[in-house]
Each structure stands twice: as C-alpha cells, then as structure tokens.
Chains A and B, each alone.
Chain A
Amino acid sequence: MMELFLTVFSAAFFVTVIRTTTPLLLATLGGLIADLGGALNVALEGMMLIGCLTAVIVSVYAPWYVAVAAGLGAGALLGLIMAFFAFRLKADIILVGFAINIFAAGGTVFALALATGGDKGTSINLPSKAIPAVDLSFLSNIPVVGPTLTAFLSGHSVLSWFAAFLVFAVWYFLYRTPWGLWLRGVGEYPAAPEAAGIPVNKIRTWSLIVSGALAGLGGAQLAMFNYVGFTREMTAGRGFIALGAVLLGARHPVGALLAALLFGAFEALAVVMPGLFNEIPAEIIRMIPFVVTIAALVLFSVRAQRALAMRGAK
C-alpha cells in the first residue's frame, strides 16, 4: 500500500496522468460542444480511432504537425458527414454515430492492412513519428522550487498544453461570445433561436465538425504520444468514456477538465498498478476506468436529474 501512495504522489505519476488525460480531455471537449448544441456525439470513439490511424499514416510521410493536422481534419470530416446525414437527411443521430463507429472499427483495420501490406494488428512496421514533448528544464534555474517545477511541468506533449489552453478557449467561446450563446441556445430550445433568425442547422453542423476535429486531435495525441503507432481498436472505449465525462462534468468546460482528469488518473493508475501489485490480475485493472465511469455516471446523474427537475422537466 505504501508503494502505491509513494507512486501516486510522485511527479512521474503526475506526468502519466497528464499523458492519459490529454486524449480524453480533447475528446470530452469535443463531446461537450456537440452536446451543448443538442447532439449527443456517440461517434467520438470512431472519430478518435480514425484520427489515430490518419495521424500515424500521415506521420510516416510528413512532419509531426502535418500528421496532427491530418488527424484533426479526418475527425472534422467525419463530423461533417455525421451532420449531413443527421440534419440534411434527418437520420437519427445516435444511429449515424454508431454507423461511424462501425465504419471506424472495420475501416481502420482495412486501411491498416493496406498500409502495412497485410498486418491487421499494429502499424509496427511503419516508421511513424511522435509529437515532441515540451522541454522546460530551464525552470530548474529557479531557486528552491525549480527542480520540482521541472519535474511536474516538463515533458508533456505539445498537445497537452494546447488542450489546457482549449479548456479556457472553449469556456470563453461558450460564455463570452455571441456564437457560444447561439450554440447553447440551439441545444436548449431550438425553436427560440430559429425564431430569432439564427441558422440552427448551420450551428449544429459546425458543432459536430468542431466536435469531430477535437476527437481526431485526441486520436492524434493517443497514437503519436501516448503510444507511437497504431494498434487495432487502440482507443479501447476512450470515446465512450469521454461521452460519460461530458455528462459527469455537468456540461461545462471546467467540469469536462475535472472529469477527464478523474478518468485519466484512474487510467494512469491502471498503467502503474501492474508494476506494484503482481497479484491483481491485469484484466481487473483494465476494468477500472469502465467501472469508475459507471459509478461516476450513476452518482452524478442523480444530481443532474435533480437540476433538470428544478428547471422544469424537459
């Protein structure tokens, strides 16, 4: 038990938490934007997965930032497809989302087999690149706190810093710009913004595009920093966990950050625990993020339900 405490309160563990949180946070912010626009984006999982593969394959031929942009673009494109079918062709958005998930699960393996020449498991034969870590070791020059600061702040992915900035950016967008107000209005009660002349479907479409772009970015982080390379079904439910994190975070960017950190911390725990406790089977440890998601969802749903009842049942 002592080792666990020592591990959890170490700087290395903090760095691991940030690493596991970043893809989740990006996907959660994506889910948040779609959710506030009134569309539950169940395709986050598939968008992340396709973002992963796109980023990995592009990174073989191009610099890392192009690959990240490609992952982002792939997610955005899926968001556009989703919006087209859901809003233009009036399909049920949940079913559209699952169609994208099924497409992603099969399509990525198909594309992987083509790209690697038959390998359906991993992209281990492809020389894919990684996102560079931000080196802040110059902070050590600061007296007293310098080494600690370096240990905690140095070595994160560029995208981790970007994700942290995005939490602020999304908050600013939602609560300090007219478009944010429009988006929230569209999600809350579409008839009102429509009467006010706000293009409801256009806003929803953009919300799904941004949502997909963020999920794709999360995928790029996952496949180019957390792991370098693509593995079949490597997102392993992270998109669905992000969906839970949106609800858990009370549909607010800061809540999303906290929820993503919570799930990220448990995932990090699952990363370090096998080294500490040999007697706990790996399968049980792998279950932790899912069990925590259900527990958190149940606990916080009660609160959300009460809030909903107070606003007058929707």
Chain B
Amino acid sequence: MSNIPAIDRASRWKTIRRETLRALAALAIALLVTFIVVLFTSKAPFEAFTQLLTAPVSRVRTVGLWIDDVVKLTITGLAFSLVFQARQFSMGVQGQVYIGALAATYVALSPLGATWAGIPLGITAAMLAGAVYGFLPGIAKAKLGANEIVSSLMLNYIAIELCNFLVRTNLPKPQAGVLTTNDFPDSAVFPALVANTRIDLGLIFALVAVVVVWFALYRTSWGLKLRLVGHNARFAEYSGIKATFIMVSAMTASGALGGLLGSMFVQGQTYGKLTVLFEGGLAFEGILVAIVARSRPLAVPVVALFYGYLRQGAQLMNIRTDVPAEVIGVVTAIIILLVSSSFSFGFIKKLFNRDTARVSAPVAAGGAAK
C-alpha cells in the first residue's frame, strides 16, 4: 500500500476497474455456459432464459423478493468477508444463521416478544448466539489447532438438527405435526419499509452492517491487524500482533453477523416465524459474494445486487418454466472458479500456448492447508 494518497487513489481506481471487468467477464462466461445447458435440456430455452434475466423486475412483488435476497446476501457476504480477510476459512455462517434464528425465536415467542423490546432483544440474542457459535471453531483452532473448516462445517449440521429438533418438540406450534412455530407477535416482526413487499427493516440493518464492517476493517487498529494477519500471520506475530486473538475475534464478529442474518430471516416479513430449513442454502452463497467483492465490505452490497438478481431470476424461472432453479449452482460455481483464479483474457490465450507449467510457489495449498 502506498503512502502517497494520489498514487494510492489512482491505482485503487485501476484495481476497481480491473476487478469489475473480471467479474463481469466471469458472469458472462457463466451465463453462456448456463445458456448452453438450458438450450440442451429445456423445451423452451429462450423463454426460460428470458425469465432468468428479466423476471425479477417484472412486478413490484418480485422486485421485493429480489431486494430481500440482496439484503440477506449482503450480510452473509460480509460475514465471509470478515473471516476471509483474516485468511480463516470458517464456513460456519449457515450454522450461525440457525442458532441466531433459534435465539431470536425464543425471544419473540416469550412474553417480551409482545412488547417494544421484541425486535431489539431478538436481534441482540441472535447476534450473541451467533457470536458464540462463531467463537467455538475459532477458539478450538487457536488453543487446540483444530482445523476450522472441518469444525465449522460440523457445527452447521449440528445447528440444523438442533433447529429441527426444537421446532418439532419444544417451540409452540399452531398444530401438532407442522414443522413451523406460531407466528411471531407483530411487535417482534420487522416492519415493512415498502408496503406489500418483503423489503423490511432488514435493509437498514444490512446498510448499517456494511458501514460498520468497513469502518472496523479499514478505520480501526483491530481491522489493520486483522488484515495484516490475513496477509501473513507469522509476520504479524513477529511484529507483536496477537494473531490468534485476531483470528478468534474475526470469527466471533463474523458469527455475530451470521446470527443477525438468522434473526433477519425469522423476524423479517418473509417468515415472521421459525420454519425448519428456512435458510435454503443462502448462507453458503455468501462465499461467492465475498470472493467477487474481494472481501471488500463496500463492494459486497454491489455484488449482492447482481447475484441476488440472478438468484431470484432462477427461482422465478423454476416456477414459470421447465428449468429447475438449481441450475444457478452451475453459475455460482463457474463465477467462483473464474474470479478466484488468475483468469483474464490474455491469460487464457497464453495458457493454451504454453506447455511447460512452471512450478508455482504453493500459494494456494501452503497457506490454506494449515
């Protein structure tokens, strides 16, 4: 990083332009591949593809669905950005969402939920629960050296089963046998910002979260240390930074965001109650958002805007045509692969002309495998 602000700014714009171009190129390639897949599998491929690309803006209601996805993708993208910046591969956002949602549900369905405290207490409880759930793999890694990828993934499965169990047995239900809780009292549900859509208070929380995470990462000493640890943990350790503390705190903060997302799911206009498996795989898509945004908090909502559009387009395509929504998994995978690799157009040309692959320094494996 340069000390001279002018150069810094110029190179920053260049970086942003380059990254944006790369992301858009990756998106174009992914869509092209998807189109080919749809062409071969659908009876009405053009109709399906038109739906994918235009459906989210077709009605006010679908715009609401889109923005709701964007809000949630922003939060999970931020949660992944935080840990990725510290070069921790904690994959526990999904589990934190379920644990946070459970905590918010217990608050919302308690007598407190019917008072003004329903929303603030619900969010606080969810964030605390998520933070604890994020802290666990962090401390297990820092103190015991337990691989955070494996432990956080295991915690995801445990959280999902715990949620299933509590919804089935412990939480109050409208009737026996259904796998949802009672509707939350109105005082515990985020008010809608735009009537008759899913756009609710969560949008404000997402915007605040973006600013808070940006400020924490780029305007506090904790953030500077965190980024240093992410660049080179041993160097940071030598310069007197407690790398393990930073790692654990990054995972904990990320967990709080995951918990917040949980409360936004169940206390939002979308549900207003706890249902089993409510998250639908959205949490993991934060990986894509964080990678394309290069873990920059301010870029996260922009990426979420694009990706949320595609995601919602796929859902609507699923409903309106014969192409399953899961085709979006192909798009996601291709975008992650292309953006996280050093792909560019010049590189592709060189790649196929060159035979003798030089041995790369183990950038990828060496740092990550530990």
Chain A residues in the interface with B (C-beta under 8 A) = 35, 38-40, 42, 85-96, 98-100, 102-107, 109-110, 113-114, 120, 190, 194, 199-202, 204, 236-237, 240-241, 243-244, 247, 281, 283-284, 286-287, 290-291, 293-294, 297-298, 301-302, 304-305, 308, 314
Contact = CB atoms under 8 A, between A and B. Distances in A.
Output the residue of B146, B155, B168, B285 with the most chain A CB within 10 A.
B146
B169 A281 contact: yes
A95 B332 CA distance: 12
A91 B364 contact: yes
A95 B342 contact: no
Contacts of A91: 337, 340-342, 364
Interface of B: 41, 89, 91, 140, 144-147, 149-151, 153-155, 157-158, 161-162, 164-165, 168-169, 281, 284-285, 287-288, 291, 324, 326-330, 332-334, 336-337, 340-343, 347, 351, 357, 359-366, 368-370
B342 to A, nearest CB: 5
B326 A106 contact: yes
B333 to A, nearest CB: 3
B326 A243 contact: no
Nearest to A233: B281
14 contacts: A38-B362, A38-B366, A88-B357, A96-B337, A98-B284, A102-B288, A102-B336, A110-B326, A201-B360, A240-B150, A240-B154, A284-B165, A291-B158, A301-B147
Nearest to B331: A106
Given A94-B89, A120-B324, A103 B330 contact: yes
Contact of B343 (A89, A96, A199, A291): A89
B330 A298 contact: no
B91 to A, nearest CB: 7
A223 B27 CA distance: 34
A35 B327 contact: no
Contact of A99 (B161, B333, B359): B333
B364 A106 contact: no
Contact of B150 (A85, A293, A314): A293
Nearest to B354: A88
A99 B332 contact: yes
Contacts of B140: 294, 297-298, 301
Which has the most chain A C-beta neighbours within 10 Å: B144, B291, B359?
Answer: B359
Given A103-B329, A283-B165, A92 B368 contact: yes
Contacts of A241: 154
Nearest to A309: B145
A106 B329 CA distance: 4
A40 B168 CA distance: 37
Given A91-B337, A92-B368, A247 B147 contact: yes
B341 A297 contact: no
B369 A90 contact: no
Contacts of B151: 294, 297-298
Contact of A89 (B281, B328, B341): B341
Given A91-B341, A194-B359, A302-B144, A102 B161 contact: no
B165 A281 contact: yes
Given A90-B342, A102-B329, A290-B155, 19 more contacts: A38-B369, A39-B365, A89-B337, A90-B341, A99-B333, A99-B336, A102-B332, A105-B329, A106-B329, A114-B41, A200-B359, A237-B154, A237-B157, A287-B162, A294-B146, A294-B158, A297-B151, A298-B140, A301-B140
